[in-house]
Amino acid sequence: MARIKQEREIPVVAGYDVVVCGGGPGGIIAALASAREGAKTCIIERYGFLGGMATAGLVAPISVFNYNGRRIIDGLPWEFVERLAAIGGAREEKPLGNITFSPEKYKLVAQRMLKEAGVDIYFHSYITGAEYEKDPDGNSRIRYVIIDNKNGAEAIAGRYFIDATGDSDLAAMAGVPMQPVPEQLQPASLIFMLSGVDTDALPMIRHSQQGVNYHDLMIRDLFTKLREEGTEDVPMFGGPWYCGILADGIVLVNMTRHFADMTDNRVAGEMECLLRENAHRYTELLRKYIPAFKNAELIATAPMTGIRETRRILGAHTLTGEEYLEAIDFPDSVARGCHPVDIHSANSTSQRCQFMKDAGFVPYRSLYAPSFPNLLVAGRNFSADEVASASVRVQASVMGLGQAAGTAAAIAAKGNTGVDKVNTDTLRARLLELGANLSN
């Protein structure tokens, strides 16, 4: 491939104690935690709104806050849900603690809470580079992130950085080693929104409960039969799962699926085209065969295709499925998860669900990589194997990771210490004060 060399001067437009990269569920709560702890904090997001998969991917519901009816993910994540509920933007389904929400109210509450906490928000800013230096001990310290927006290229200086991009974009640019790539990543899915649905005829939250794989079996069986018989063109699908947005007749449908490495721009572009075609095709099929969808109109596809799995960092500790499913409580446990292990097949309509015996734990060491003393991660890119990641990646637990990473970054900033040197007793004590549930 031909290459060009470009030399350019980039203005350093601001500096922060903590720079949060990515404004999804992990990043929002990380920025909130960091700012509330007194660190000068900003958040950088490529879209013009916060929420990540929750809003840009139209992924709903927020799963799951509870295990056996008891709240496991607590503190700032739950405060966020309460703020959303206070303006009619969230409704809890018990006993799982699944949250159906309004994506528009989600965007509003997220920006309000961050602004109230004093977080500077950089919207429409794509993180495209990291400037870092190596010290004599071989440690890499990030000094600036480069963002590209309408103003051109800009550099933002930071003392500490939190990679909440889901895809580990910042960590990859800074040279952090990644987990080995699994044989097949979980598939991507473009979620679409239908109006005119007879929502009274559909159970609105279709999700995995303990012992029950909660997709719509009637529609699944029908589409499987149509696919096998070849009577209709039925693209690959998963689920299907539906969730409302607290508005009459409106349903989000999660059923398109295709395998893709969504960190490759060209692959991701092709995937958007294919899955958009498929969303329209499914709308036709649902209208034709399912009475509740007879009058359905496709009113939106999500601004971006939903990504279940990409790069995860190789952290100081890689949380394994065994540790997680056995609910091993680490001396430095800082977050928890209680969703079933949920692995969607890359090349078939199936899904492998493993139900938890108890809520699992995430150690602080899974949030940073050795030799990167000013970088933490907050989100599905934390250091875990495929099994542990397939549970913790859901939104409530990712918010819990954000709470831990944001609090830890602020503590590190106060003490001017490496993230690996943060006293985990102090961190855990602070998380407990915030309301986190770190024990059975």
| Binding positions for ligand FAD, rule: CB under 6 A | 22-27, 44-47, 52-53, 56-57, 59, 61-63, 126-127, 164-167, 169, 189, 254, 306-308, 379-380, 393-395, 398
CB of 417 to ligand FAD, least distance (A): 25
Is cis: bond before 240, omega within 30 of 0? yes
Which residue lies nearer to ligand FAD by CB, 26 or 373? 26
Q: Which residues contact 305 (CB under 8 A, 6 or more apart)?
A: 57, 188, 189, 190, 262, 268, 271, 272, 275
How many Å is the maximal CA-CA distance in the chain?
68
Q: Do 11 and 382 form a contact (C-beta atoms < 8 A)? A: no
Both tokens of 277, joined, read 């075609």
For ligand FAD, the closer CB: 70 or 232: 70
CB of 153 to ligand FAD, least distance (A): 13
**67: region left, alpha or beta (phi > 0 left; psi from -120 to 50 alpha):** beta
Q: For tokens 């540790």, what's the residue?
A: 323
Radius of gyration for the alpha carbons in the chain, expressed in angstroms and rounded = 21
- How near is the Cβ of 313 to ligand FAD at its closest, in Å? 12
Q: Judged by CB, which is closer to ligand FAD: 123, or 289?
A: 123
- What is the token pair recorded at 388? 């542990």
Q: Which two tokens stand for residue 276?
A: 């958009």
Q: Which of 329, 410, 404 is nearest to 364 (CA)?
A: 404
Residue nearer to ligand FAD on the CB measure, 258 or 308: 308
Whether the CB-CB separation of 322 and 376 falls below 8 Å is answered with no
Closer residue to ligand FAD, CB minimum distance, 267 or 429: 267
Residue 306 or 363: the one with the smaller Cβ distance to ligand FAD is: 306
Shortest distance in whole angstroms from residue 423 CB to ligand FAD: 26
* Residue carrying the six token digits 């904090």: 41
CB of 24 to ligand FAD, least distance (A): 2
Provide, rounded to whole angstroms, the least separation between the CB of residue 307 and ligand FAD.
5
Q: Provide the token pair at 233.
A: 């063109």
Kindly report the backbone phi and psi dihedral angles of residue 387, in degrees, each rounded to the nearest multiple of 5, phi listed first.
-75, -55
Q: How far is the CB of 116 from ligand FAD (least distance, A)?
A: 20
Tally of CB atoms within 10 A around 287: 17
- State the residue number with the nearest CB to ligand FAD: 24
Q: 92 vs 167, which CB is nearer to ligand FAD?
A: 167
Strand pairing report for 98-101 and 90-93: antiparallel
CB of 372 to ligand FAD, least distance (A): 18
Distance CA(192)–CA(53), nearest Å, equals: 13
Q: Which is nearer to ligand FAD, 169 or 216 (CB)?
A: 169
Residue 309, both tokens = 């799995």
- Closest approach, Cβ 21 to ligand FAD, in A, equals 6
Q: Where are the alpha helices (DSSP H) in 100-146?
A: 103-116
Give least dist CB 26 to ligand FAD, A.
Answer: 3
Q: Which is nearer to ligand FAD, 96 or 438 (CB)?
A: 96
Residue 216 and residue 239 in contact, taking contact as beta carbons nearer than 8 Å: yes
Task: Report the alpha-carbon distance of residue 21 to residue 381 in Å, rounded.
Answer: 12
Looking at the Cβ atoms of 258 and 393, the one nearer to ligand FAD is 393
